[in-house]
Structure 1
């Protein structure tokens, strides 16, 4: 599902939440003096895109930067920002704005699935029921077309080119390699081992297959510590089972053990009481004519 950068904030918000993409809703609560937009204006910010506008200019750029810092830092509590446009944003209009930033964490886990065969399809069907995001790759055009028709709302489908580096992997992806071609599997493992922000690597196949891969990869300069990070065979709980759904269930259970647990040790309380008092005053204030 593609979202245009001209999409109204409300449509973008609905689609991003359905996709499980982390984002921040930025709402203009109060204005005083000359300002580009009126209270109630909103925009949505992700790490890569923005949707709708609060009027442009430096104040908007500052708020986008603040929202992206919240996403990068994993902040989960909303915050209130008050800006003087002339002093803090270097804008000619001399008004003041109060803005609420509400972060939405998105999916709790990112999976990169390489292979859209029988097991890959069964696994994607399982993963789409979880609050995770999946990037699904295959080098065969026909398999990509079929996968695109079956993909869930939080799954993106890509055709895998000859050079894996042509594809930007999402940071902290848990990678599962199960293509139709052993040589393609080996090229992918070699590529993934060189990526600094990969969360985990799993490879479908037998211990014999991995022993052959490991021998050749070690000859290419990979250390034992790097090679030990590859899990093969995967789906140990499904060993002895042959059905694609059984193997997929074992892989999903293994991925579940790698998923983050409850991140918060304290209950989220939202805005501080002082900020709530400020918002109440701002919303109740009758603006005096200048």
Structure 2
């Protein structure tokens, strides 16, 4: 349990694009640990504020973490959702009241972007991405690459071992969108080869011309990469028809392309609390 109040934690976690669940007591009957309006915030490894403690709170925390884990696996998780906690029957608490709880899952980062290289295009691209609810994992092998970069809560600047990038790539979240644009073509090729070893990378873009990709494709094929894997690579990157050569023009085209991928993300089959859920928890018919 952390010392943050739920509202302070909510503000911080949303700025950092970290996944979390806001749990709210929306109804109480009989003797209950807290009144309606009590809230707490739960992440995968921390809790902020309290619903009153006891087995009921532990069950609510466990339910919130189930939602976070399912979303991290790429499953569609309906949110918000209502659940009933009869304290005697479900939670084994002697006070014997009844609590209705609303769970609201916040994805934190709705998309993860792995950006390799901190050259002119990347430096133009990151400020375009930073205000979005995305998390940018930004890598560069040069020790001074990020010296002049302004810190941002949703941009994580990391050193890259250019000779052995597998550890950094293995740590990327499933479903990340990778962009390779380092200062060195050999490094680009090694990164593309390593990223193709992650079939759960959602997309893989390589900066450069069609002739650059033709050269890379030949060498990657010689290294044993099959054509179905190579077909996952986009080169050039950016939306079709945006042919500008200035770094900012390329960055705009790439940002627009990433937005098309974000809009294609799967959604839950329904949104919010369903009428049957409402009836099950409250015993009342929902009015919409």
TM-score w.r.t. length of structure 1: 0.78
The one-character-per-residue Cα deviations of 1:54-99 (angstroms, maximum 9, x if unpaired) are 3455433432332234342433432222223454335576554332
Pick aligned residue for 2:62 from 57, 65, 68: 65
Tell me: CA distance 1:57–1:203, structure 2 relative to 1, closer, same or farther (3 Å). Answer: farther
CA distance in 1, matches of 2:167, 2:65: 25
After TM superposition, give the deviation of residue 226 of structure 1 in Å: 0.3
Tell me: CA distance 1:93–1:192, structure 2 relative to 1, closer, same or farther (3 Å). Answer: farther
CA distance in 2, matches of 1:181, 1:190: 14
Question: Residue 206 of structure 2 aligns with which residue?
Answer: 203
Checking the alignment, whether the CA contact within 8 Å between 2:86 and 2:98 is kept in structure 1 is: yes
Checking the alignment, whether the CA contact within 8 Å between 1:203 and 1:231 is kept in structure 2 is: yes
Checking the alignment, whether the CA contact within 8 Å between 2:82 and 2:277 is kept in structure 1 is: no
Unaligned runs of 5+ in 2: none
Pick aligned residue for 2:11 from 5, 10, 14: 14
Pick aligned residue for 2:21 from 8, 21, 24: 24
Pick aligned residue for 1:42 from 39, 42, 61: 39
Aligned to 1:258, the other structure's residue is in SS state helix
Tell me: CA distance 1:237–1:146, structure 2 relative to 1, closer, same or farther (3 Å). Answer: farther
Unaligned runs of 5+ in 1: 282-290
CA distance in 2, matches of 1:51, 1:85: 22
After TM superposition, give the deviation of residue 207 of structure 1 in Å: 2.7
Pick aligned residue for 1:89 from 74, 91, 96: 91
Question: Residue 137 of structure 1 aligns with which residue?
Answer: 139
CA distance in 2, matches of 1:140, 1:9: 40
Question: Residue 246 of structure 1 aligns with which residue?
Answer: 249
Tell whether 2:165 aligns with 1:164: yes
Equivalenced residue count is: 275
After TM superposition, give the deviation of residue 5 of structure 1 in Å: 4.6
Tell whether 2:241 aligns with 1:237: yes
CA distance in 2, matches of 1:146, 1:260: 32
Tell me: CA distance 1:53–1:158, structure 2 relative to 1, closer, same or farther (3 Å). Answer: farther
Question: Residue 78 of structure 1 aligns with which residue?
Answer: 80
Question: Residue 154 of structure 2 aligns with which residue?
Answer: 154
Q: How large is the RMSD of aligned CA atoms in angstroms?
A: 3.3
CA distance in 1, matches of 2:283, 2:234: 54
Aligned to 2:241, the other structure's residue is in SS state helix
TM-score w.r.t. length of structure 2: 0.79
